[in-house]
Structure 1
Amino acid sequence: MPQRKLGADGPLVPVYGLGSWNTWDRMEFDDAVGILRRSVDAGVNFFDVAHYNMGPHAEQSKTDLIFGKAIREAGIAREDYLLCGKLWLWEYPAAGFAAQLNESLDRVGVDKADLVVVGDYMERPDVRAIVTEVAEQVRAGRFDAWGVNNWIAADLHQAIDFARAEGLPAPCFAQLKYSVVRRTMAEGPFYQELFDSGSFAMQASDILEGGILAGKLHPQRKIGADPGGIRGEIREAAAELAEVAASFNTTAPQLALAFCLANPAVANVLFGVSRREQLEDNLAALELYHRHGSAIREAVQHLWVDRNKVQADGSWL
């Protein structure tokens, strides 16, 4: 499994990672154990796992509890995988980072994470307070490096500048909605300067738009937010994506993965699976990327749906 650096201050990570939202609670427990074992054996030992019970996700999800139990059942030692947690801003600062970590790590059954992602927000946050409190948790040994999730680029720049000025750990990666259809935040003027510097990396998430780009046009489960209100256009693009995939003799999910991997800013790609076959299909996309990465990016250029949906400050319309 190829590895890439997750920003200047981040670790080497496999180019694939398994995400946790609505992942481990969408399958039988024995299937979760088998998928985790197969993933680590294939070199996919990066897991994005969070306690989703805050703000719009306050639904008593058990996916993190299931993950912790399943990875132990699979016989995977803690030192053999990377754990990326989440810190939420929905109820911050009332729900401080120390308390959030205590609960989330306890639910998984570990002492520390390797990385955390500071979650997205509805109201502009106190960036300096966030950077300062994150640094306290790094010093306490709760995790080693951190990133942000779908932040406005101006706030991210402020976080980096403040951290460097104060000698504190700076965010080294951004977990962004990034796909064939959602590209402007990552490839526009908002984050591109940071990615071009080589010191900052992208973690691509929601690459199939909750399954829509895989042909499940109206998912029955809850899926991610729709910044820019473009989901109708994305459903229309799904059919075209399938046609492009057929021209490469592959599947739409494999094409979507290869597209992300072909962007040098992408350190790793997060995906969720509920069946072993889906995992194997995703693993096979590596060969497609190596053979046709550049050609695939050119072939889907016309499917860039959110091109005019981001404002000058980097926030969604």
Structure 2
Amino acid sequence: MPASPFPRPLGPGGPLVPPLALGSWNTWDRMSEDEAVAMIHAAVAGDAGFFDVAYYNMGPHAENSKTDILFGQALRASGVARDEIVLCGKLWLWDWPAQGFRAQLEESLERAGLDRFDAVVVGDYRDAPDLDRLVADVGELIADGLFDVWGINNWVVGDTHAAFAAAERAGVAAPTFAQLKYSIVRRSMAEGEPYGELFRAGRLALQASDVFEGGILAGNLVPQRKIGADVGGIRERIVAAAPEVARVAAELDATPAQLALAFCLAYPPTANVLFGASRPAQLEGNLAAMRLAAEHGDAVRAAVAGLWLDREVAADGTW
């Protein structure tokens, strides 16, 4: 049996993190507290004890605004110790700097009943932010012990380079990981040359997100809930490709969801894969993806090599 490639660090100087990470978008609000407690226990036991505790009090996702409160309640009820898990918060740019990062972070921590995160992701944007001010604000929060490392979420790669330069000028921490859309069918941003160069150079690790394409690649061809943006306008082609994903998964004695996760885990820059689960059984079924990736990662990626659907989309985040 091949040696496990996990855990991997969350970028240069970052902590070793569980290979699977649970998101909070449309999850904790779709289960009872008992189910949420069971989910947390299953995640910790199954090497998926990385929780994205997003702050959804603003912007286009505000209807999901209670997620951090619900997660915090379930975590306290679970009895799981803080040092058994990794927590990642989110800072949004929709109303920044009018609503500063510190105010966002402190409110999110208070709502969840926490005193700090381990990592934070700075969200995407409509217009390029003032990066000198941004890295200074983030650096101040790190200096105050509110989190240790930070990453970016679907940024144009030129702005990521500018953040590195701004951090060096200011003598503060640069981003160590990139949370990017990445799946069997949508690969250009994570595998394209601009971000690929940063991954190969060891400047960033990848946190893969949107790996199920809103559930389509996991078998739900007509999602009944709001799902992520269709970057590049390829969703109809993704729906058409889903049966082939299911066929390949069956040949590997896996579920489509396990195949989708294993595909991302088998990409060497991947530190972990962020996905949503609203029932403990979903999570427990998906845990087998780690073994599939460790034992058959090359075969998984070869089997779906022809399903890369966004090759024509720019890889630098400009789409």
TM-score norm. by structure 2 comes to 0.96
Separation in structure 2 between the aligned mates of residue 199 and residue 188 of structure 1, nearest angstrom: 15
Structure 1 match to 2:218: 214
Q: Does 1:57 align with 2:64?
A: no
Structure 2 match to 1:86: 90
Separation in structure 2 between the aligned mates of residue 195 and residue 206 of structure 1, nearest angstrom: 19
8 Å CA contact 2:8, 2:17 repeated in 1: yes
Equivalent residue letter for 1:286: M
Separation in structure 1 between the aligned mates of residue 57 and residue 47 of structure 2, nearest angstrom: 30
1:106-121 to 2 correspondences below 5 Å: 106-121=110-125
Deviation, 1:128, is: 1.4
8 Å CA contact 2:177, 2:205 repeated in 1: yes
| Structure 1 residue matching 2:207: 3-state secondary structure | strand
Structure 1 match to 2:262: 258
| Structure 1 residue matching 2:63: 3-state secondary structure | coil
| Structure 1 residue matching 2:214: 3-state secondary structure | helix
Deviation, 1:59, is: 1.7
Structure 2 match to 1:124: 128
Structure 2 match to 1:191: 195
Q: What runs of 5+ residues in structure 1 fail to find an aligned partner?
A: none
Aligned pair partner of 1:144 in 131, 138, 148? 148
Separation in structure 2 between the aligned mates of residue 315 and residue 82 of structure 1, nearest angstrom: 31
TM-score norm. by structure 1 comes to 0.96
Aligned pair partner of 1:204 in 208, 218, 225? 208
| Structure 1 residue matching 2:248: 3-state secondary structure | helix
Deviations 1:158-213 (A, max 9, x none): 10122123211000000011110110001111200110012310001110011011
Structure 1 match to 2:244: 240
**Runs of 4 or more above 3 Å deviation:** none
RMSD (Å), alpha carbons = 1.3
Deviation, 1:60, is: 5.2
Deviations 1:233-266 (A, max 9, x none): 1111111111111121211111111101110000
- How many residues get paired? 315
Equivalent residue letter for 1:160: F
Separation in structure 2 between the aligned mates of residue 181 and residue 127 of structure 1, nearest angstrom: 31
Structure 1 match to 2:317: 314
Separation in structure 1 between the aligned mates of residue 74 and residue 36 of structure 2, nearest angstrom: 6
Deviations 1:75-108 (A, max 9, x none): 0122221110000001111110010011101011
**Once the two structures are aligned, what percentage of the paired residues are identical?**
59
Equivalent residue letter for 1:225: A
Deviations 1:2-49 (A, max 9, x none): 311111121110111111111111112210111101211223221101
Equivalent residue letter for 1:63: T
